Homo-oligomer: A and B are copies of this chain.
Amino acid sequence: MQTATPRQPESVAPPKPIPLAPSIDLPERRRYRLKNALLGQPLHTDQLVHERLGKPTALAVFASDNLSSVAYGTEEIITHLVPYIGLAAFAMVMPITIALLVVLGFLILSYRQTIKAYPSAGGAYIVTRDNFGLLPAQVAGVALLTDYVLTVAVSVAAGTAALTSAASALTPYAVLIAVAFIVIIAFGNLRGVKESGRIFAVPTYFFIATMVALLVVGFSRMFFGHLPVQSIHKPGMIPAGHGGNGFLMGATLFVVLRAFASGGAAVTGVEAISNGVPAFRRPEWKNARSTLVVMGSTLGAMFFGLSWLDAHLHVNAYAKGTPTVISQIGKVVFGSGPLGHVLYFALQAGTTLILVLAANTSFADFPRLASFHAGDNFMPKQLTKRGHRLVFSNGILALSAASIFLVVITQAKVDRLIPLYAIGVFTSFTLSQAGMARHHIKEKEEGWRRGLFINATGAVLSLVVDVIIAITKFKPAGAILGAWVIIVLVPIMVYALTRLNKQYEAEAAELEGDAKAAAEAPILRRHVVLVLVDGLDRSTARAMQYARTLTPDDLRAVHVAYDADHAEKLAEEWRRLGLARFPLELVDCPDRRITRGVLEVVAEALDGQTEVTVLIPRREYRRFWHRLLHDRTADSIASAVSQLPHANVTFVPYHLGTEHQPEVHA
């Protein structure tokens, strides 16, 4: 029953201007031309192809969120130890780092399972939905969405801190710089920056190279030469508490756990690869698995090395966040020679770049995850719509707005953002690992016992970390924001999403009904056409010509008399011209509410057996400013009349400046 389409399908083509159907010569609208200028030529749906990535490129594409955590991981541990236990903090850095590396190890083992079991899309949302159902999936998804927002905010804030550490003159503009980073990334994503390996490889490997340089030079000088131990009492640094003599064990445990929780931010981003398995070369899951291991090991090595250097050098953090710990370590390790300066600035540049790239990762993940929610009717449908350049534009805009909001209210301070961070990601880890455990029990594939052990341990570990974060960072002293925000927000959002879902489902159920019977239902007994008349001119005349095309049972010309003088003149002119076929009805409208007046006339004409068509002559203006000179009563009438069942509104256009009308050749 599908007829031939009048237009030929476009062949799968490289980006080029879309040719219009040959028979039509219609000018494009201004808004569309602006879009093209800003975002580039539109992309066709069939251009939605993903490039396949080799392992080194895949590492570059997926690892930035994960690897960039090194930039603040050690600092976050130190910041939460020194004020309470002073120099003893540096004795605790390595144990806490190692504990986090154990967590990291289990996460990697767990996600190796996920990659194998869900080679097409193994995000927490999908895994949780498949194994526990839609509602728990909303929890996992929402938790992850909040964390993507925080990834952007934290990464951009940390990237700005890396920049202002090297160029302190920029410090007063930190918030502005951070917001600018977000705007630039968002713009790039709206243009549809491809997950192109080439672009991503440069900063990622550059960062790894500078970190390797830092660690190699650092350890060489530590073991074979001398690295000066720093004072933790420089002005502007966070104040050191008393040392390890005689403090309460309970309080210390809390302090250590809080430092652990803060450092937890360093092991986020592990899930990225499991979301993108199909982008790998064949065999996808095997390549993805080994890339995951390489990524985890790289992060582990860098984190371990940096913490060790810090424990040795006693580098304390500054209260205002800059210069960062990593910047201070870089200065000490590379020294003050010319080569040292070059290496130091390279380190800061690499750190800034990878952090900005990490923010960019969320701009790929958030809109995609939001589109999953929306596809399941749990978020507004608009999030499933691919924009001009095939990206989920609405998701990108939402993420930008939320992260800019966070950056502004926290003044781009990493330390104020961290308490909100990681809790969401560990919630989703917990759910997705638990889902994997369930998956093993259900499916009983080869080696499922081992898998169950790994994923169950992963789930329990994630849950423990999550609880530690929730408790120790619930509301940091002196701060307003804390984990409580997320703990409050996630249930509220999940509730909102389920209400949304109910609404969508109810609408769908109502719309489904018996469509065939409805489509073929007998038409109503009568058809009344009302032509709304404001003046006796060609636009009205055009509407009356069209009205006769409809061959109605009753054709009425109606004027809502908002101005008695005008109405009288109109009636007289009407009489004079003798438009006998169309008697004009005048409807009193002493309150000048034309819309309401029309609504009442229409409502009276409806009797359950009558179809009413309201014809509104609408003048179409050639230029934007010409349209501005007239009010938009027509639109408001249309929207009001549509409230009534069987009241149909037709705009009959009349084109002013007709010599410039778009031509139609047919």
**What residues make up the interface of A, taking CB atoms closer than 8 Å to B?**
1-3, 5-10, 18, 20-21, 23-24, 26, 29, 32, 42-46, 380-382, 385-386, 500, 503-504, 507-508, 510-513, 515-521, 523-524, 527, 535-542, 544-546, 548-551, 562-564, 571, 574-575, 577-588, 590-593, 599-601, 603-608, 611, 613, 618-620, 626, 628-631, 638, 640, 642-645, 647-658, 661-662, 664, 666
A549 and B381 contact, CB distance less than 8 A:
no
Closest 4 CB pairs of A and B: A518-B541, A511-B537, A519-B541, A44-B590
**CB within 8 A of A643: which of B26, B45, B521, B583?**
B26
* Pairwise interchain contact B653-A645, C-beta atoms closer than 8 A: yes
User: With contacts A587-B6, A604-B21 known, is A540 near B527, CB below 8 A?
Assistant: no
B10→A588 contact, CB < 8 A:
yes
Dominant secondary structure of chain A at its interface with chain B: mixed
A500-B629, A519-B540, A562-B45 as given contacts; A549 in contact with B611, CB under 8 Å: yes
Verify A661–B645 contact, CB threshold 8 A. Answer: yes
A429 to chain B minimum Cβ distance, whole angstroms, is 31
Q: Are A603 and B563 closer than 8 Å at their CB atoms?
A: no
State which of B584, B599, B629, B649 has its C-beta within 8 Å of the C-beta of A26.
Answer: B599
Asked if B579 and A516 make an inter-chain contact with CB atoms under 8 angstroms apart, the answer reads: yes
Could you show 8 A-B contacts with beta carbons less than 8 Å apart? A6-B604, A7-B600, A9-B588, A32-B593, A527-B550, A603-B664, A649-B651, A650-B650
State how many angstroms separate the Cβ of A257 from the closest Cβ of chain B. Answer: 42
Closest residue to A606 on the B side, CB-wise?
B664
Q: Are B545 and A3 in contact, CB atoms less than 8 angstroms apart?
A: no
Measured between beta carbons, the chain B residues less than 8 angstroms from A539 are 511
A653 touches B664 (CB 8 A): no
In the docked arrangement, what's the CA distance between A382 and B536, Å? 20
Q: Contact between B661 and A653 (Cβ–Cβ < 8 Å)?
A: no
Evaluate contact between A381 and B630: CB separation under 8 angstroms.
yes
CA A512 to CA B546, docked complex, whole Å = 18
Residues of B contacting A564 in the complex (Cβ-Cβ under 8 angstroms): 45
Q: Which of B513, B620, B644 contacts A662 (CB 8 A)?
A: B644
Complex contact B511–A45 (CB within 8 A): no
Please give, as numbers and ranges, the residues of chain B lying within 8 Å of A631 by CB-CB distance.
381-382, 385
Q: How far is the CA of A654 from the CA of B563 in the complex (A)?
A: 33
**Contact call B518/A545, Cβ cutoff below 8 A:** yes
In the complex with contacts A521-B545, A546-B648, A26-B603 CB distance below 8 A: yes
Contact A541 B563 (CB under 8 A): no
| Contact A629/B504 with A1-B584, A653-B642 known, Cβ cut-off 8 Å | yes
Cα–Cα, bound, A291→B604 (Å): 54
Nearest CB to that of A377 among chain B residues?
B629
For residue A547, give the distance in angstroms from its CB to the closest CB of chain B: 9
Stoichiometry, copies per complex:
2
Interface centre among A46, A508, A579, A629 (most CB of B within 10 A): A629
Q: Are A655 and B651 in contact (CB under 8 A)?
A: no
Evaluate contact between B512 and A537: CB separation under 8 angstroms.
yes
A322 → B minimal CB distance (Å): 35
Contact A642 B620 (CB under 8 A): yes
> Which B residues are CB-close (under 8 A) to A535?
511
- From A520, A563, A590, name the one whose CB has the most chain B CB atoms within 10 angstroms: A590
| Chain B residues whose CB sits within 8 angstroms of the CB of A546 once the complex forms | 523, 611, 648
CB distance from A460 to the nearest CB of B (A): 39
A580 to B5, CA, bound (A): 18
Cα distance A52–B49 in the bound complex, in angstroms: 78
Contact A651 B638 (CB under 8 A): yes
Bound together, the chains give a CA A654 to CA B20 distance in angstroms of: 33
A518-B545, A649-B651 provided; 12 other pairs, C-beta below 8 A? A2-B575, A5-B586, A9-B588, A380-B628, A386-B592, A503-B629, A511-B619, A518-B542, A519-B582, A524-B549, A605-B666, A644-B653
User: In this complex, which of A42, A550, A551, A585 has the most chain B Cβ atoms within 10 angstroms of its Cβ?
Assistant: A550
CB-defined contacts of A650 to chain B, threshold 8 Å: 613, 648-651
| With contact pairs A527-B549, A585-B2, A666-B606 given, residues A515 and B536 touching in the complex (Cβ less than 8 Å) | yes
In the bound assembly, the distance between CA atoms of A466 and B518 in angstroms comes to 75
A524 surroundings in chain B (CB, below 8 A)? 549
Q: How far is the CA of A515 from the CA of B545 in the complex (A)?
A: 11
Complex Cα spacing A553 to B514, Å:
27
Q: Which of A538, A607, A630 has the most CB of B within 10 A?
A: A538
B545 touches A591 (CB 8 A): no
Q: Do B523 and A540 touch (CB < 8 A)? A: no
A600 smallest CB distance to B (angstroms): 5
Question: Would you call A519 and B579 a contact (CB within 8 A)?
Answer: yes
Q: Which residues of B contact A648 (CB under 8 A)?
A: 546, 650-653
Q: Is the CB of B5 within 8 A of A585?
A: yes
Residues in B whose Cβ lies below 8 Å from that of A548:
523
Chain B residues with CB under 8 A of A593: 32, 42
Distance between Cα atoms of A381 and B511 in the complex (Å): 43
Contact at B45–A590, with CB atoms within 8 Å? yes
Chain B residues closer than 8 Å to A657, beta-carbon distance: 510
Beyond A510-B656, A540-B515, is A563–B45 a contact (Cβ under 8 Å)? yes
By beta carbon, the residue of chain B nearest A585 is: B3
Tell which of B9, B380, B590 touches A9, judged by Cβ atoms closer than 8 Å: B590
Q: Cβ of A591: which chain B residues have Cβ within 8 Å of it?
A: 18, 42-45
Task: Determine if B516 and A538 form an interchain contact, defined as CB atoms under 8 angstroms apart.
Answer: no
Chain B residue, CB-CB nearest to A610: B666
Set of chain B residues within 8 Å of A21, measured between Cβ atoms: 600, 604
Q: Would A519 and B545 count as touching, CB distance under 8 A? A: yes
Contact check, B664 vs A644: say whether CB atoms are below 8 A apart. yes
